[in-house]
Chain A
């Protein structure tokens, strides 16, 4: 189990780096799906099977298919790929990478002071749903309203005049 965690973590980091380095959008999207599936494996190892299943269905399934539909609608061809290659100059990477490295250094510095051992205990669907439809039922309702608002906004924004 513990080896599975580290293997999935390495795959997730490599696939995520590959996403931001790609020039072809569809390749980037496929790497992102790989990264999300690796994170789903990590969720499973950490004892959250419900979250793992939702990560695979909703993130790697629904949201990525939405991306794919839009990329197909935009119909970006070879021209965009060449343009993309000209945008990705090595100089443009320096400052963002430096800033992110400083942020990462600070986060790692803070987090390495925590030295708790984590013993993955299975928290199944029943515990989660008992809380979800018990004390957190208002949050579920608000989430449904948020999704409805997203649907209406997406319909309105993508509409042709």
Chain B
């Protein structure tokens, strides 16, 4: 089978991570911020899979499974918070959360 340079896989993960970072920093819609966080977590998982493929070990895939679990739990809690926020403020703008009063 042909070979792929390992740095290409890692650079792809870095590009996806940077795009996710731009999304988190730029967007004001909280749903898009959560989606960008998903992109960043996925990029981390991609780096682990590239590592697993490089060394021929299954441990990288196990770390990917842990990231998958973490992402699922994080999304459940984040979406619950979004629903609660929308119920209180009737908007998805994160700037309305600038004052944290009980």
Using a CB–CB cutoff of 8 Å, the interface residues on chain A facing chain B are: 1-2, 5, 9, 12-13, 16-17, 19-20, 22, 25, 28-29, 32, 35-36, 39, 42-43, 45-48, 50-51, 54-55, 58-59, 62-63, 66-67, 70-71, 73-74, 76, 80, 83-84, 87-88, 92-93, 95-97, 99-101, 103-104, 107-108, 111-112, 114-121, 123, 127-128, 130-132, 136, 139, 143, 146-147, 149-151, 153-158, 160
Contact = CB atoms under 8 A, between A and B. Distances in A.
Contact of B54 (A25, A43, A116): A116
B4 A96 contact: no
B61 A128 contact: yes
Contact of B35 (A32, A58, A150, A158): A32
A13 B22 contact: no
B75 A100 contact: no
A71 to B, nearest CB: 7
Contact of A100 (B22, B29, B72, B79): B22
B10 A146 contact: no
A108 B62 contact: no
Contact of A20 (B31, B32, B56): B32
B72 A147 contact: yes
Nearest to A45: B4
A76 B7 contact: no
B76 A151 contact: yes
Given A128-B61, A150-B77, A160-B87, A13 B12 contact: yes
10 contacts: A2-B4, A9-B12, A39-B46, A46-B49, A48-B52, A97-B26, A120-B53, A123-B57, A150-B74, A157-B81
The range of chain B's interface size is: 35 or more
A134 B58 CA distance: 12
A20 B72 contact: no
Contact of A19 (B18, B39, B57, B73): B39
Contacts of B76: 66, 150-151, 153-154
B39, B53, B87 pick with most chain A CB within 10 angstroms: B53
A106 B79 CA distance: 33
A131 B26 contact: no
